[in-house]
Amino acid sequence: MDTFKLVRPEHLNHYGYLFGGFLLKWVDEIAWIAASRDHPGCRFVTVAMNSVEFHKGVHQGTVLRFHSHEHSRGRTSVQYAVSAFADDLESGQEEPIFSTCVTFVNLDESGEKMPMPGATGSES
Amino acid sequence: MDTFKLVRPEHLNHYGYLFGGFLLKWVDEIAWIAASRDHPGCRFVTVAMNSVEFHKGVHQGTVLRFHSHEHSRGRTSVQYAVSAFADDLESGQEEPIFSTCVTFVNLDESGEKMPMPGATGSES
Amino acid sequence: MDTFKLVRPEHLNHYGYLFGGFLLKWVDEIAWIAASRDHPGCRFVTVAMNSVEFHKGVHQGTVLRFHSHEHSRGRTSVQYAVSAFADDLESGQEEPIFSTCVTFVNLDESGEKMPMPGATGSES
Amino acid sequence: MDTFKLVRPEHLNHYGYLFGGFLLKWVDEIAWIAASRDHPGCRFVTVAMNSVEFHKGVHQGTVLRFHSHEHSRGRTSVQYAVSAFADDLESGQEEPIFSTCVTFVNLDESGEKMPMPGATGSES
Amino acid sequence: MDTFKLVRPEHLNHYGYLFGGFLLKWVDEIAWIAASRDHPGCRFVTVAMNSVEFHKGVHQGTVLRFHSHEHSRGRTSVQYAVSAFADDLESGQEEPIFSTCVTFVNLDESGEKMPMPGATGSES
Amino acid sequence: MDTFKLVRPEHLNHYGYLFGGFLLKWVDEIAWIAASRDHPGCRFVTVAMNSVEFHKGVHQGTVLRFHSHEHSRGRTSVQYAVSAFADDLESGQEEPIFSTCVTFVNLDESGEKMPMPGATGSES
């Protein structure tokens, strides 16, 4: 699944760069959307995010493309990989910004871990 | 281009439905992103949006998919069609919410209308 | 009914102009307030907005005045006209930005269309 | 000058009441808009707000009306009174919530106090 | 209790200064947090804020430190003093911005005033 | 350095839990404030965050305390540890939520890495 965000003034620190914290907030939400669309009926809650490294500053007016896909699956959890790319609207060139993995656990209505539909294994 | 939004509590009116105004704000931004990615180097400003009709209420926790594509092109402007679909995360079924067209004009640095790259005609 | 908004940095695109999408979000909310004040006890939901054209860019620090009034009334719906004006705080001069109409339907608690108080006709 | 705000979920504390801090933020902005419209060409900055008392809780879905007018004027400053009223959308009845005064000083481009246009006295 | 806020672009007016209204919103929330942590089990609602005076403009990128502590206590209410300081990140020097007092009343679940735990007096 | 956040409705997903992405956004900002206060004159940009694990859901109305301190220092970078604790306002008990490390690099005005004041080593 691909989705897009426009970096606007409210997302910048006072040096004019995108706050890293916004990237992490977006990655969490986007991975959640991808997982929830792929697994109808599951109730996912974020339990972990891998370490991240930001190699380039991102400026106002940049369009970010986020690509996310299922990376692995446990008995009660799924892990989604998300990669972010910055699109230079002048040249149309795109370059990678960072990537990470987000882990979600599937909960029932009382908040207890629940096996994923079709899960047969014993790992979490 | 497809992109996604999650309807969260801050987007609701006090009856628990998505505010129509948020949909329109998102459509404008999404169409702008699609147009700017398709036409590198252009500086687009929104000049018009077609009439819209909302046939169904949208609840919290819905994932919206927005599909946008170029609909027509003038000498200094482009028109993008945007359609919104609501995804029921329980069943995985999607249904159409509304669609409209947004018109952008291409401006130069002084704010004057500028022909689109490759434009040869005389219409605006 | 007149109401006012101040255009602040968080409402701008990266060229320094007000995002058209914010105008549409504000128009929807303002028309809803006007309709709800005029018709106590009604539960209005937006069902349509007429097409809009933005003829002038709006800069940061502009005060916008929105004038809204009832334009027409059906059996279960009302239509409110909203006009937006930009106030130049240097000169005190105001100029029109755009105008449109928003249509609301009156719902009962179960979400079904309900006649407006005093409605006797048969049109929706 | 009258202006209106709709109390939405994002403005509530977790008991379901409007945060007092939002009221104060709105009062500051609204008084600033009123002062700036009445005195074209002035650059106002807030320097003081009188004490406030909130006698009633405000719930989600309330429409607030803010009435503001010039209360007094010094050589380089103006004071605006703002009163807030809550509109019960069921009954159409309005009741007062609180009122206060906001003081603005007029600054020149270098940030120094500047006499108001037409000011002849010597008080600040 | 000390807590910190970073002044970001979304908090500025169009002259580049922090809106006074944001300061007041933050003060209300911070005093509420301090009071609620000091008095577990109480349900506090803001009923008053003392007058405030802002003697200095605050710029983007400033770190604000807010110090709050209990100032006085009645039978059903507490008053918290809050002082704000601006930290110059270039020099590491801090200077006072303003201070005020916020009064909270303790409510029971039905919204009626309730004595503070351990209160024996008769004043409100 | 300790600082505090109140979890409000706008921070929740539609199951009523705090979005993990907000926690990450806050951690980034809070670590940045701590680093910038400790090292006056430095211009820090986030380059990395360690992996995180969320072991407990956080509900609306929770007060979060974030404790941050310098964890290690390189020639052009610093690493800050941040731990988050949830305060149960009913009982006054606090419990740990998660902790992580954020790495900042010190940039000069042209955006190039710059040694930290007093740095003599050769590691980055």
Q: What CATH code is carried by the domain that includes residue C41?
A: 3.10.129.10
Q: Could you write out the three-class secondary structure of chain D? A: CEEEEECCHHHECCCCEECHHHHHHHHHHHHHHHHHHHCCCCCEEEEEECCEECCCCCECCCEEEEEEEEEEECCCEEEEEEEEEEECCCCCCEEEEEEEEEEEEEECCCCCECCCCCCCCCCC
ipTM of this predicted structure: 0.88
Length in residues, chain E: 124
What is the per-residue pLDDT for F121? Answer: 56
Is B60 in CB contact (< 8 Å) with chain F? yes
β-partners of residue F106 are F44
Please give the average per-residue pLDDT across D23-41, as a whole number: 94
Of F25, F48, F54, the CB nearest to A46: F54
Contact D57, D108 (CB under 8 A): no
Please give the average per-residue pLDDT across C85-104, as a whole number: 92
Residue F62 within a domain: yes
Residue D81 within a domain: yes
Mean pLDDT by 10 residues, chain B (124 residues): 90 80 93 95 93 87 95 96 92 91 93 85 52
Determine, for residues D92 and C29 on separate chains, whether the beta-carbon distance falls below 8 Å: no
Q: Which amino acid is present at D90? A: E
Residue F113 within a domain: no
Q: Does D120 have pLDDT greater than 80?
A: no
Q: What are the chain C neighbours of B30 within 8 Å (beta carbons)? A: none
Is F109 in CB contact (< 8 Å) with chain B? no
Phi, psi of D56 (to 5 degrees): -140, 140
Least confident of A78-87, C38-47, E55-64, E103-112: E55-64
Please give the average per-residue pLDDT across A1-28, as a whole number: 87
Angle between helix C20-38 and B20-38 (nearest 10): 170
Please give the average per-residue pLDDT across C28-44, as a whole number: 94
Residue A101 within a domain: yes
What is the per-residue pLDDT for A122? Answer: 53
Q: What are the chain B neighbours of C24 within 8 Å (beta carbons)? A: 21, 24-25, 28, 49
Is F40 in CB contact (< 8 Å) with chain E? yes
Percent of chain E past pLDDT 70, that is, above it, reads 96
Q: What is the helix (H) or strand (E) element at residue E81, kind and residue range?
A: strand E77-87
Determine, for residues E32 and F3 on separate chains, whether the beta-carbon distance falls below 8 Å: no
Task: Please indicate whether residue C122 or residue D3 has the higher confidence score (pLDDT).
Answer: D3
Residue E111 within a domain: no
Determine, for residues C91 and D41 on separate chains, whether the beta-carbon distance falls below 8 Å: yes
Contact B113, B122 (CB under 8 A): no
Residue C122 within a domain: no
Mean pLDDT value across chain C: 90
Burial E64-81 (b: 16+ CB within 10 A, else e): bbbbbeeeeebebbbbbb
Q: Does E70 have pLDDT greater than 70?
A: yes
CA distance C15 to chain D (A): 24
Determine, for residues D19 and E46 on separate chains, whether the beta-carbon distance falls below 8 Å: yes
Contact C64, C86 (CB under 8 A): yes
Is B6 in CB contact (< 8 Å) with chain A? yes
Determine, for residues B46 and C19 on separate chains, whether the beta-carbon distance falls below 8 Å: yes
Q: What are the chain C neighbours of D41 within 8 Å (beta carbons)? A: 89-92
Percent of chain C past pLDDT 90, that is, above it, reads 63
Task: Please indicate whether residue E124 or residue C74 has the higher confidence score (pLDDT).
Answer: C74
Please give the average per-residue pLDDT across C17-45, as a whole number: 92
Residue C124 within a domain: no
**Spans of chain F below 50 pLDDT:** none
Residue E112 within a domain: no
Residue C36: give the domain boundaries: 2-106
Is A14 in CB contact (< 8 Å) with chain E? yes
Please give the average per-residue pLDDT across D71-99, as a whole number: 93
- Which residues contact residue B80 at a Cβ distance below 8 angstroms, ignoring those fewer than 6 apart? B31, B34, B35, B68, B69, B70, B71, B101, B102, B104
How many distinct structural domains can be found in chain F?
A: 1
What is the per-residue pLDDT for C39? Answer: 95
Contact A82, A71 (CB under 8 A): no
Least confident of B107-121, D70-84, E49-63, E87-101: B107-121
What is the per-residue pLDDT for E61? Answer: 84
d(C-alpha D121, C-alpha D115), whole Å:
9
d(C-alpha C29, C-alpha C24), whole Å:
9
Least confident of A16-20, C29-33, D113-117, E32-36: A16-20
Between the alpha carbon of residue B12 and those of residues C118, D4, D7, the distances in Å are: 29, 18, 11
β-partners of residue C107 are C113
What is the per-residue pLDDT for F118? Answer: 79
Of D7, D9, D61, the CB nearest to B9: D9
pLDDT band at E8 (very low <50, low <70, confident <90, very high): confident
Percent of chain D past pLDDT 70, that is, above it, reads 96
Closest residue on chain F to B12 (Cα): F10
Q: Do chain D and C touch: 3 or more Cβ pairs under 8 angstroms?
A: yes
